[in-house]
Amino acid sequence: MSGLIATPLLWLAVTLAVFEGADILSRRSGRHPLCHPVLLATPVLIGVLLATKTPYATYAEATQVLGFLLGPAVVGLAVPIWAQRATIRRLAKPLACALLAGAVTAIVSAVGIVWLFGAPAEIIASIAPRATTTPVGMAVASQLGGIPALAAVIVLMSGVIGAMTATPLLSLLKIRDYRARGFAVGVSAHGFGAARAFQVDQTAGAFASLGMALNAVATATILSIVASLI
Amino acid sequence: MIGAIALLLVCQLGGEVIHRLTGLPLPGSVIGMVLLLAWLAFVPRERLTLTQVTGWLTAHLSIMFVPAAVGVMEEGAILSRHGLGIVVAVAVSTLLTLAVTALVFRAVAGREPEPDDSGEGAS
């Protein structure tokens, strides 16, 4: 019986079952950002591990296959970028300027503020890619000497905050163009922002997906260049 | 189906190889994304299965990073000491990035001619 505890079977089954439960609750909430399945499932799983005195290393090894899929998923982001090539060509100048401004703002403001709070280097490295989609943020953070788990949580927080504040903030700034609104929420709040944008407007959703995919490349590139200079 | 999965894995593998050989500091999967873009540009044909496979992966991205997110259980010390700074930084940075991106887009797009939908934009 105790032999089961170390197999992938047990923890994969538990993870998928807890996630499915969280996903049902999230659907019932009308996909509210605060009810994102990851936000609901993660504390439950931590509770299960603590209650059963299972070390995180055991759990991480058993559920490796889920993390493995992140690699091909990131590669696959090329497909939506390619599908929008006509839009990218037509709006090359505003997209490029907004992307660059957004990526730099996200990095500099997040890093600057935690630095003012006296955070150590591994936190600075974990927060620098906060606006990218989670798998890219984790990969970039670990390359910069950050903590991937912390980066994952920081990226999730960005998503929740961005998805909840985008509509009131952008209305306050009197930005009515759904292309600008969608692109901004995708650049700043990745997949969470894109999901929120699709609830509001199809054009906003398409531009948010584009913003998410392009910012994954832009932020990873900027941080790589900065890292190689330091 | 297998062909599409193979293409994704080969691109990622190529990205990892380039990452290791050249010391390019981009993650291998991001280099792999650029390789796949190049493939899409140079090998023009229908790619229904590739779109289905990547669509499925993207739709289920959330569960893939659950194991990593659970890893914060080991970062309790860092979170209790630096949690406030992290929350403030993430909140301010997210709002600021939203505003700057949208304002820059509007400022630049405003000076561009309106998109001509009868032209190549429809393709």
Is A90's Cβ below 8 Å from some Cβ in B? yes
For residue A2, name the pLDDT band (cuts at 50, 70, 90).
Answer: low
A34 or B117: whose pLDDT is higher?
A34
Please report the pLDDT score of residue A154 as a whole number.
Answer: 94
Residue of A69, A98, A130 lying closest to B90 (CB–CB): A130
- Measuring CA to CA, how many Å separate A190 from each of A181, A211, A214, B20? 13, 7, 10, 28
Task: Read off the pLDDT band of A80 (50, 70, 90).
Answer: confident
User: Are the Cβ atoms of B66 and A118 closer than 8 angstroms?
Assistant: no
Task: Report the distance separating Cα A41 and Cα A14, nearest Å.
Answer: 10
B111 pLDDT band (50/70/90 cuts)? Answer: low
pLDDT digits (tens, 9 = 90+) for A9-31: 999 999 999 999 999 999 999 88
* Contact (CB<8Å) A110/B5: no
Contact B103 A138 (CB under 8 A): no
CA gap B105, A59 in Å, rounded: 44
- How close B105 gets to chain A, by Cα (Å)? 5
H-only helix segments in chain A? 8-28, 37-51, 56-62, 64-68, 70-75, 78-83, 85-90, 92-116, 121-127, 134-143, 148-172, 178-200, 202-229
**Could you give the ipTM of this predicted complex?**
0.88
Q: How far is CA A88 from CA A21, A73, A81, in A?
A: 39, 22, 8
Distances (CA, A) of B109 to A177, A218, B113, B114: 10, 20, 8, 8
pLDDT at A180: 95
What is the residue extent of each domain of chain A?
2-68, 78-229
Mean pLDDT within A46-70: 93
* Predicted local confidence at residue B121, as pLDDT: 38
> Which of A130, A147, A166 has the CB atom closest to B98's CB atom?
A166
Residue B116: what pLDDT?
Answer: 46
pLDDT at B96 over 80: yes
Kindly state the average pLDDT of the residues B59-88: 89
Query: Where does residue A15 fall: left (phi above 0), alpha (psi -120 to 50 degrees), or beta otherwise?
Result: alpha
Q: CA–CA separation, B29 vs B25, rounded Å?
A: 12
Task: Please state, in angstroms and rounded to a whole number, the distance separating the CA atoms of residues A180 and A175.
Answer: 7
Residue linked to tokens 């290791």:
B20
Above 50 in pLDDT, residue B119? Answer: no
Report chain B residues whose CB lies below 8 A from the CB of A138: 65, 68
User: Which residues from B are below 8 Å from A224, CB to CB?
Assistant: 24-26
Query: What is residue B10's predicted lDDT score, i.e. its pLDDT?
Result: 97
Tell me how far apart the alpha carbons of residues B96 and B34 are, in angstroms, rounded to a whole number: 29
pLDDT digits (tens, 9 = 90+) for A158-200: 998 998 899 999 999 999 999 999 999 999 998 888 888 888 8
A30-36 — which CB contacts under 8 Å span 24+ positions? A31/A195, A31/A199, A33/A159, A33/A160, A33/A163, A33/A164, A33/A192, A33/A196, A34/A160, A34/A164, A36/A156, A36/A159, A36/A160, A36/A192, A36/B62
- Of A111, A102, A203, residue with least CA distance to A162: A102
User: Per-residue confidence at B117, pLDDT binned at 50, 70, 90?
Assistant: very low
Q: CA-CA distance, A226 to A54, in Å (whole number)?
A: 39
In this complex, is the C-beta atom of A10 within 8 Å of any C-beta atom belonging to chain B?
A: no
Determine the Cα–Cα distance for residues A133 and B83; give it in Å rounded to an integer.
21
Query: Left if phi > 0, otherwise alpha if psi is -120 to 50, otherwise beta: which for A31?
Result: left
Question: Which residues of chain A are within 8 Å of residue B45 when distances are taken between CB atoms?
Answer: none
Of A66, A74, A184, the CB nearest to B63: A66
CB-based contact, A170 to chain B, within 8 Å? yes
The predicted structure's pLDDT at residue A112: 97
Compute CA distances A73 → A79, A177, A198, whole Å: 10, 30, 20
Report residue A25 as tokens.
Answer: 């609750």
What was the pLDDT predicted at A13?
A: 96
The encoded tokens of residue B67 equal: 């194991």
